């Protein structure tokens, strides 16, 4: 069959790399893609939210499966757009429908879902511009640090954690009254701070059945020792060493099963990945957030460990026969280190030539913000390339990635040298 992947990051290169290994895939397209997806697929230069253009591409190329990488098209309802169109309704779309994508599109919606289904999460209240004073009063009832979350999508920047109550009040006002995050902060969720270590659990569901995929831990801060500004993610490890069988069964029973059942009870149609952001407090798992897609760079360590034919698995998602599939996972650890442009996550330069990719041995280079220009691979974003390796231990995997990074170069290259430091 012919398959289209939407997106242009390291996540999408990894999905394309995995799908390209399937005998079931005849022609693979990625829109818009990057220099990495160009190795294994045909790039099509259209945006991921340009539904009209996507429709044309699908019809012109006899595409029968669309895999949605990022959240934006899902929250805007791409799956519903396909179902409502006579010519597209039989195309399999991997990604939830709009109503379910609100789990990522609205923090308040996600919190209401979690409470309705008794899934462990931080206590919270939500506020709007008319209830700022109530928000101040709620902050007074909490202990520092204070967690404020813009309700809507804010490109990963909408969560602010502050130690000082006056700063927290000023932030609340900036979000609600001064529209700091535009319409994304029309509502703000304030929640109790949970102190623990984070991990992510990935679940694939056909709406009824589900499979738990490998866990992963990502490193969000730009600086070593988890310091400095938040980024999209600077590296990841899978599996998470502290997520042992007992902890995983708590996650399954208290979080995954009630989530999948909750989707059905609430009539939220879901065929796709559920990315559950968790925090381990003592020995208990709590949900920090839902995302309705795979994580980036978590995908770069999760999918390489999946032994199954990914197209076969996606077909089972589309046909609601995921219960018939046995998921096989590589026992080895995988680690990825993200190479970023100097300056990121603030201002950075683009167009730097990346050299040494062909000399990588024993690791995989998943391209992210990288594009082809005159036959050269050049930087085109903040996060440029994720170097993934396997090892019998995560330490071994990380070491291999760092060895290969020595062979790579671009002007103002930056990366964290301490991925896995806290494990
Ligand atoms: P989110 O966008 O919801 O993933 O939040 C971004 C980051 O903020 C998370 O990865 C956590 O590190 C942190 N965070 C969010 N909510 C909480 C909370 N209730 N307690 C502690 N940290 C939190
Ligand atoms: N790495 C975090 C995310 O994809 O949201």
Residue 365's nearest CA partner among 333, 400, 329 is: 400
Q: 163 vs 146, 160, 171, CA distance in Å?
A: 6, 10, 12
Q: Is 277 in the pocket of ligand 1 (CB under 6 A)?
A: yes
Burial of 257 (C-beta count, 10 Å sphere; 0-12/13-18/19+) = middle
Q: Name the closest-CA residue to atom 2, ligand 2.
A: 295
Q: Is 151 in the pocket of ligand 2 (CB under 6 A)?
A: no
Q: Which of 11, 273, 275 to mutate to test the pocket of ligand 2 (most atoms within 8 A of CB)?
A: 275
pTM listed for this prediction: 0.96
Q: Is 289 in the pocket of ligand 1 (CB under 6 A)?
A: yes
Q: Is 191 in the pocket of ligand 1 (CB under 6 A)?
A: yes
Burial of 405 (C-beta count, 10 Å sphere; 0-12/13-18/19+) = buried
Q: Is 102 in the pocket of ligand 2 (CB under 6 A)?
A: no
Q: Which of 72, 156, 201 to mutate to test the pocket of ligand 2 (most atoms within 8 A of CB)?
A: 156
166 CB-side CA count, 13 A: 0
The whole-angstrom distance between residue 384's C-alpha and the CA centroid of its chain comes to: 16
For the CA of 236, the closest atom of ligand 2 is 1
Look up residue 329 and give its DSSP letter.
B
Q: Is 207 in the pocket of ligand 2 (CB under 6 A)?
A: no
Among the bound ligands, name the one nearest to the CA of residue 150.
1
Strands 27-32 and 2-7: parallel
Which pLDDT score is estimated for 347? Answer: 96
- Phi, psi angles (nearest 5°) of residue 188: -130, 135
Which pLDDT score is estimated for 423? Answer: 87
The crossing angle, in degrees rounded to 10, of helices 165-176 and 132-141 is 150
Is residue 337 helix, strand or coil?
Answer: strand
Q: Is 43 in the pocket of ligand 2 (CB under 6 A)?
A: no
Which pLDDT score is estimated for 326? Answer: 97
Q: Which residue has the tokens 């694939």?
A: 204
Q: Which of 291, 302, 345 to mutate to test the pocket of ligand 2 (most atoms within 8 A of CB)?
A: 291
Q: Which of 233, 238, 240, 337 to mutate to test the pocket of ligand 2 (most atoms within 8 A of CB)?
A: 233
Which pLDDT score is estimated for 155? Answer: 81
- Written as one string, the DSSP assignment of 123-186 is -EEEEEGGGHHHHHHHHHHSPSSEEEEESS--TT--EEEES-HHHHHHHHHHHHTS-TTGGGGS
How many CB atoms are closer than 10 A to CB 59?
Answer: 13
Which pLDDT score is estimated for 156? Answer: 76
Among the bound ligands, name the one nearest to the CA of residue 294.
2
Give bridge partners of residue 202 from the DSSP assignment: 275
Q: What is the spatial distance between Cα 416 and Cα 409, in angstroms, rounded to a whole number?
A: 15
| Cα–ligand 2 centroid distance for 405 (angstroms) | 22
Model pLDDT for residues 182-201, shown as the tens digit of each residue: 899 899 999 999 999 999 99
Q: Is 198 in the pocket of ligand 1 (CB under 6 A)?
A: yes
For the chain, which residues score pLDDT lower than 50? none
For the CA of 233, the closest atom of ligand 2 is 1
Q: What is the spatial distance between Cα 271 and Cα 358, in angstroms, rounded to a whole number?
A: 37
Among the bound ligands, name the one nearest to the CA of residue 302.
2
Q: Name the closest-CA residue to atom 16, ligand 1.
A: 288
Radius of gyration of the chain (CA): 21
Q: Is 193 in the pocket of ligand 1 (CB under 6 A)?
A: yes
For the CA of 156, the closest atom of ligand 1 is 2
Residue 8's nearest CA partner among 53, 47, 65, 59 is: 47
Q: What is the spatial distance between Cα 37 and Cα 9, in angstroms, rounded to a whole number?
A: 9
- Written as one string, the DSSP assignment of 256-303 is IHHHHHHHHHTT----EEEEEEEEEETTEEEEEEEESS--TTTHHHHG
Sketch out the chain's domains with CATH numbers. Answer: 2-98 (3.40.50.20), 123-191 (3.30.1490.20), 197-324 (3.30.470.20), 333-405 (3.90.600.10)
**Residue 386 parent element (H or E):** strand 383-391
């Amino acid at each position: 069959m012919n398959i289209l992947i939407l997106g242009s990051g390291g996540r999408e290169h990894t999905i394309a790399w995995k799908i390209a290994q399937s005998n079931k895939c005849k022609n693979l397209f990625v829109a818009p893609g990057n220099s990495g997806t160009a190795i294994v697929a045909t790039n099509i230069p259209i945006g991921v939210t340009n539904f009209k253009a996507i429709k044309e591409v699908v019809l012109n190329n006899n595409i029968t499966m669309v895999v949605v990488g990022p959240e934006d098209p899902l929250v805007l309802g791409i799956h519903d757009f396909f179902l409502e169109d006579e010519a597209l309704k039989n195309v399999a779309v991997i990604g939830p429908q709009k109503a379910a994508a609100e789990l990522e599109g609205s923090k308040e919606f996600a919190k209401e879902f979690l409470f309705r289904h008794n899934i462990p999460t931080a206590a919270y209240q939500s506020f709007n511009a008319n209830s700022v004073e109530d928000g101040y009063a709620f902050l007074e009832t909490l202990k520092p640090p204070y967690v404020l979350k813009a309700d809507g999508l804010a490109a990963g920047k909408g969560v602010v954690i502050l130690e000082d109550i006056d700063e927290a009040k000023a932030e609340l006002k900036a979000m609600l009254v001064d529209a700091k995050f535009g319409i994304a902060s029309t509502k703000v969720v304030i929640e109790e701070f949970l102190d623990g270590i984070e991990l992510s659990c990935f679940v694939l569901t056909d709406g009824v059945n589900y499979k738990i995929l490998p866990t992963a831990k990502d490193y969000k801060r730009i600086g070593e020792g988890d310091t400095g500004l938040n980024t999209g993610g600077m590296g990841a490890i899978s599996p998470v060493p502290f997520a042992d069988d007992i902890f995983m069964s708590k996650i399954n029973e208290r979080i995954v099963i009630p989530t999948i059942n909750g989707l059905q009870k609430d009539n939220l149609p879901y065929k796709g990945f559920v990315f559950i952001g968790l925090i381990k407090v003592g020995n208990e798992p709590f949900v920090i957030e839902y995302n309705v897609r795979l994580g980036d760079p978590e995908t770069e360590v999760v999918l390489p460990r999946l032994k199954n034919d990914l197209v076969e698995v996606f077909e089972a998602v589309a046909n609601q026969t995921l219960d018939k599939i046995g998921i096989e996972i590589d026992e080895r650890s995988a680690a990825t280190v993200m190479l970023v442009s100097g300056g990121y996550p603030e201002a950075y330069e683009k167009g730097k030539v990346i050299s040494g990719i062909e000399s990588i041995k024993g690791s995989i280079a998943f391209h992210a913000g990288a594009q082809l220009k005159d036959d050269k691979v050049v930087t085109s974003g903040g996060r440029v390339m994720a170097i993934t390796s396997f090892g019998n231990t995560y330490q071994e995997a990380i070491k291999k990635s760092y060895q290969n990074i020595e062979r790579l170069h671009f002007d103002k290259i930056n990366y964290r040298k301490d991925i896995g430091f806290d494990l």
